Structure 1
Amino acid sequence: MRHILVFVKTPHTKTPYDRWLAGTGVTPVIVTATEYAAGYAHLPHVHAFDAYDTNQLVEKTAMGLAREFAVEAVFARAEADVVRAAQLRELLGLPGQHTASALAFRDKVVMKDHLARGPVDVPAYRRLDSAYTALGFVAEHGYPVVIKPVSESGSLGAAIIRDEADLDAYLADPWRGNSEIEAFVPGQMYHVDGLVAGGEVVFVHPFRYLNDCLSFRDDDWVGNLPLAPQDPLYDRLVKAARAVLAELPTPPQTAFHAEFWITPDDRLVFCEIASRTGGGMISAMVRHAFGIDLDKEWLYAECGLPPTFGTPAYRPAGALCIPPRSGVLEELPEAGSGRPGCVREATLTGAVGQEFHGGVKSGLFLAGYVVDGDTEEDVTANLERVAGWFSDHTRWRPADSCGGTA
C-alpha cells in the first residue's frame, strides 16, 4: 500500500482526500488542526494539533509519520504549510517543492528578488527591517506606500500608508516583524490561477476581482469572475503568469495563484504569487466554470497519478465571499428564503449566536457562494443580487447587548 502525508488546514467537506484517492492504491496520512479533526475522524491515520500554524510538534509528528509509513509524497495546500512541507520533503529526499522554491513563493521579498530584472514590471520594494528603512524608502519613492508581512496571505496585515500621519501611526504600533515596504500601485487587480503538472502549465486562466482584496476591512464582499477568452486582457495576463513561473524556481507539481494590477495608464504590474490554490471560493468557482477541481488534480500530480480532467470547457460563473460584521450573529438566511436561483454552491462558516469581530483577511468569510449566468454581465449582476439577498436576510446585534455572547 502506498501512503502520502497530507498537511490539512481545511474541513473534509472541502478537501475529502480519502474520497479523491479511493481506488488509486494511495492512502492519506493526515496531520491537521484540531478544529478540522472531526471531519477526518473516520480515517485510520489522523493526528490533530492545537495552535496548528505555530505548534512545532506538527513538524516532529509529520517526520515520524513520514518515516513510519515510508510516504512517497507530501501534500500541503495551505499557505501556513508551504515551507514546513518543503523542508520535510528536502530532509527525507522526497520529490516535490523544496525549501528554496517554497521561500520564493512565500517570502514576498525573495519572490521579487527573483523577478526584479525579469519581463514583468515589479513595484519598487525593500525588506522592512527598521523605521529607518521606511523613512528612507518614503524619501526615495514618496507616498503612498504599502507595508505588509512578507509571508501572510489574503492581505492580512497589509497597510496603505498615504501620508506622514499614517506612517507615524504605523510606527507607533508594536513592531510587526518581518515585513516589506513597496510603492503603491493604483489600478484594477486581477488574479491568474492554474496548475503545473510534470513541469508544464496544464491549466491557466485569468480572473477579475469585483470590489478588491481589502473590501473585507469595510465588511464588504469580494467577488471573482473569470475573464472570457476574448477579453483584451486575457492573453496579457496569461503571458505574464507564465513569465513569472518561468523566472521563479517553480516546482514540477503545484497549483498557483498570482495577482497583477492593470494601472490607469495600462501597465501590467506584478503583485504576488503563491504555490497553492486561491483562497475563498476560487477553487469552487473554477470547478463550476471549467470542470476542474484544482486541489484534487494537484494532489493527483503529487502522487504521480494521471489527471482526471479533459479539455476545459468555459461556462460563466463567479465567486462571492462575504465577511462577518462586528457583533453577534442573530439570524442567517436559509436556502429557501428567496435565495436567487443562480446559486450553484454555498458555504457558511459561522453559526447563529457566534460573536465576530469583522473581516480578518480576504480569504476568510462568513458566507461564500458560487453563482452562474448566461454571460459575464449576468454573473456580475447575480453576484450583486446574492450579496444583497444575504444582507437583507442576516441580522446582527452588538456584542455587549443583553443576552450575552457566544
Structure 2
Amino acid sequence: MILVLLSPRNAGLPFAEWLGEEAGSLLAVTVHGIDPGPGFLDVETVADYVDDTAVREAARRLCARHGVTRILALAEVDVERAAALREEYDLPGQRPESARAYRDKVRMKELAAAGGIRVPAFAPADSADDVLAFMARHPGPVVVKPRGGSGSTGVAVLDTPDDVPAVAERIRSGGHEVEEFVAGRFFHVDALHAGGEPVVSVPSLYTDGGCLSHWTDSGNGSWTLERADPLHRRLVDETWRLVAALPAAPALFVHAEFFVTDADEIVLCEIAGRVGGTPIPAMLEAVLGLDPRHVWARVECALPVDLDAVRERARTAPLVANFGLPPRNGRITRVPVEPPSGTRDFAVLAEAGEDWGGARYRARKSGDFIATWLVTAPNEGELLALVAKTEADTEAAFGWDLQPGAEAAPGAEPTPDAEPAPEAPLEDR
C-alpha cells in the first residue's frame, strides 16, 4: 500500500488517477477538513500540518494498521518526514542523509562545493553577530534565509551592517544561512533521475526579479531555453554534477536554481528534491506531455511509466513560458471574466471580495498567485512579447481596493510592511 503525505497545497490532485493500480487502497495523512479525493482506503488527519510530530505519529498509525510499501511526498515540508519514515520502516526511496542535503542550505552548499560546484560564500547564522561577522569578511550585499525554507519566505537582502538589526529577532528564532549576494540572470532546471541515470532535464530562465518579484507586487514566471542556447547544455550538465555531489537516492525529481553572472559563470543558488511549485508543473506538463507530479508519483511508487516517451516529448516540445500575478495589499473587487487572448491553462486563483491585505499580504510567498497561465511560441522573441501582453491584460482585468499606502500599480520598492514573514513552509516554489 502507498502512503501519501498530503500537504494542503496538494489537496485536489488526482492520486487515484495517477496511481490507478493502487486506487482504492491508498492511505493518506493530511490536515483536518481536507478531502483527499477518491481512491483512499484510510486517512489520518492532523490539526496543524506544520506540526512535524503530529504528522509522523499519524503516519505511524497508518503503518501499524496496513502493510505500507511506499511513501509518496510531493511537498517541500514532507521531504524529510518521508525520508525519516522510510528509514524507520525500511522502505525504498530517499533516506534522511539525502533528504537533509536537499533541504538544509548550509549542508547542501558544503557538499556541492566539495563536489566542484561553484557556490557563493556562505555560513550558518544563528544570531545577528554571525551575520555581522560574515559581512565583515565579505563586504557588499548579503542574503539571509532560513536553512530549510521554501518559496522565498523569510529571505532578506541586506545592503549594509546597518540593516542587520531589522532581521535579528527572526534569525534568533531558528537556523538561518547568510551568503554573498550574486548578481546575474536567474535560472531553474527541473530534472528527473531514475534507475541510476538521468531521464530528462528542462532548463528555464526566470523573468527579472525571479522569485523575489512579489516583493514589488510584480508578476513573475519563467520560460524554457531553446536547445540551441549554449547555456542549455551547460545548465543540464551542472545539474547532474550537483546531483552527483549530494547523497544518492534511488530516484529524484529535482528543482535546481542557478545564477549566471555577467562573467558567464554558473553559481548555485539552491536545489530542492521535489517538483517545482506553481505554476512550474503546468509549464513542465506542456514540455513532458504529463504533469511532472504524475510522472514523479509513478516513479517514486515503482509503477510503470514510459520514460522514453517523456524524453522524446521534451526533445521536441515548443518553447513554453509560465507566468503568475501576485496578490496586492488590499481587497479584490474584480477578477477576469475570460482568459486573455494567447494564454493557455489560464487559472484565476482568487475571487472578488477576497482580502489579501495586512498580515496575509506580509506573509505572502513567491508561490502565492491570484492568476497563472502559460503561453507558447516558436521562438524566444515572440514568446516574451506574448508574456508581456498577457501580463498587462490580466493586470488590467483585476480590480483592487488597496490599503492606505499601497501602490496602485506594480513596481514600487518594498515597504517595511512588505518585509517577508517568518517561515510557514506549506507552499513550494
> Do both proteins adopt the same fold according to a TM-score greater than 0.5, normalized to the shorter chain?
yes
Please give the per-residue CA displacement for 1:206-242, whole angstroms capped at 9, x wherever unaligned. 1000121100111111111000110121111011101
Offset at residue 4 of structure 1 (A): 0.3
Quote the Cα distance in structure 2 between the aligned partners of 1:24 and 1:6: 12
Between 284-293 and 339-348, report the one with greater CA deviation: 339-348
Between 179-188 and 164-173, report the one with greater CA deviation: 164-173
Q: 1:34 to 1:101 in 2, by over 3 A?
A: same
- Length-normalised TM-score, structure 2: 0.87
Contact 1:256–1:273 at 8 Å: present in 2 too? yes
What is residue 335 of structure 2 aligned with on the other side? 332
Contact 1:342–1:373 at 8 Å: present in 2 too? no
Query: Which secondary structure does the structure 1 equivalent of 2:215 belong to?
Result: helix
Query: Which secondary structure does the structure 1 equivalent of 2:356 belong to?
Result: strand
What is residue 141 of structure 1 aligned with on the other side? 138
What is residue 200 of structure 1 aligned with on the other side? 197
Between 146-155 and 297-306, report the one with greater CA deviation: 297-306
Q: 1:75 to 1:326 in 2, by over 3 A?
A: same
Contact 1:195–1:294 at 8 Å: present in 2 too? no
Structure 1, unpaired ranges of 5+: 401-406
Contact 2:83–2:99 at 8 Å: present in 1 too? yes
What is residue 351 of structure 2 aligned with on the other side? 351
Asked if 1:79 corresponds to 2:83, the answer is no
Q: 1:386 to 1:50 in 2, by over 3 A?
A: farther
Contact 2:188–2:256 at 8 Å: present in 1 too? yes
Contact 1:297–1:308 at 8 Å: present in 2 too? no
Quote the Cα distance in structure 1 between the aligned partners of 2:214 and 2:205: 17
Contact 2:24–2:39 at 8 Å: present in 1 too? no
Please give the per-residue CA displacement for 1:110-133, whole angstroms capped at 9, x wherever unaligned. 111111222220111100022222
Contact 1:328–1:356 at 8 Å: present in 2 too? yes
Report the count of equivalent residues.
393
Contact 1:194–1:294 at 8 Å: present in 2 too? no
Q: Percent identity?
A: 35
Between 129-138 and 142-151, report the one with greater CA deviation: 129-138
| Residue among 35, 60, 63 paired with 1:63 | 60
Query: Which secondary structure does the structure 1 equivalent of 2:172 belong to?
Result: coil
Quote the Cα distance in structure 2 between the aligned partners of 1:23 and 1:63: 24
Q: 1:203 to 1:173 in 2, by over 3 A?
A: closer
- Length-normalised TM-score, structure 1: 0.92
What is residue 420 of structure 2 aligned with on the other side? none
User: How large is the Cα RMSD of the aligned pairs?
Assistant: 1.9
Please give the per-residue CA displacement for 1:150-198, whole angstroms capped at 9, x wherever unaligned. 0011111111110132123323667332100111111111000011212
Between 4-13 and 201-210, report the one with greater CA deviation: 4-13
1:106-121 pair list within 5 angstroms: 106-121=103-118
Query: Which secondary structure does the structure 2 equivalent of 1:355 belong to?
Result: coil
Query: Which secondary structure does the structure 2 equivalent of 1:67 belong to?
Result: helix
Query: Which secondary structure does the structure 2 equivalent of 1:109 belong to?
Result: helix
Quote the Cα distance in structure 2 between the aligned partners of 1:108 and 1:173: 17
Quote the Cα distance in structure 1 between the aligned partners of 2:395 and 2:248: 41
Asked if 1:229 corresponds to 2:232, the answer is no
Partner amino acid, structure 2, of 1:301: V
Structure 2, unpaired ranges of 5+: 405-429
Contact 1:281–1:320 at 8 Å: present in 2 too? yes
Offset at residue 11 of structure 1 (A): 4.3
Contact 1:40–1:46 at 8 Å: present in 2 too? no
Contact 1:86–1:97 at 8 Å: present in 2 too? yes
Please give the per-residue CA displacement for 1:16-41, whole angstroms capped at 9, x wherever unaligned. 11111124578321212346x23526
What is residue 282 of structure 2 aligned with on the other side? 284
Query: Which secondary structure does the structure 2 equivalent of 1:40 belong to?
Result: coil
Query: Which secondary structure does the structure 1 equivalent of 2:154 belong to?
Result: coil
| Residue among 378, 384, 389 paired with 1:385 | 389
Quote the Cα distance in structure 2 between the aligned partners of 1:127 and 1:52: 27
Contact 1:197–1:298 at 8 Å: present in 2 too? no
| Residue among 312, 319, 322 paired with 2:322 | 319
What is residue 128 of structure 1 aligned with on the other side? 125
Q: Report which of the two has the higher share of helix.
A: 2
Partner amino acid, structure 2, of 1:308: D
Quote the Cα distance in structure 2 between the aligned partners of 1:321 and 1:39: 26
Q: 1:173 to 1:243 in 2, by over 3 A?
A: closer
Quote the Cα distance in structure 2 between the aligned partners of 1:26 and 1:71: 14
Contact 2:347–2:371 at 8 Å: present in 1 too? yes
Between 37-46 and 132-141, report the one with greater CA deviation: 37-46
Q: 1:182 to 1:331 in 2, by over 3 A?
A: same
Please give the per-residue CA displacement for 1:373-399, whole angstroms capped at 9, x wherever unaligned. 232222222222221111111111135
1:134-173 pair list within 5 angstroms: 134-171=131-168
Q: 1:308 to 1:348 in 2, by over 3 A?
A: farther
What is residue 44 of structure 1 aligned with on the other side? 41
Contact 2:24–2:38 at 8 Å: present in 1 too? no
Q: 1:25 to 1:325 in 2, by over 3 A?
A: closer
Between 89-98 and 42-51, report the one with greater CA deviation: 42-51
Asked if 1:394 corresponds to 2:391, the answer is no
What is residue 371 of structure 2 aligned with on the other side? 367
Between 276-285 and 169-178, report the one with greater CA deviation: 169-178
What is residue 186 of structure 1 aligned with on the other side? 183
Between 42-51 and 218-227, report the one with greater CA deviation: 42-51
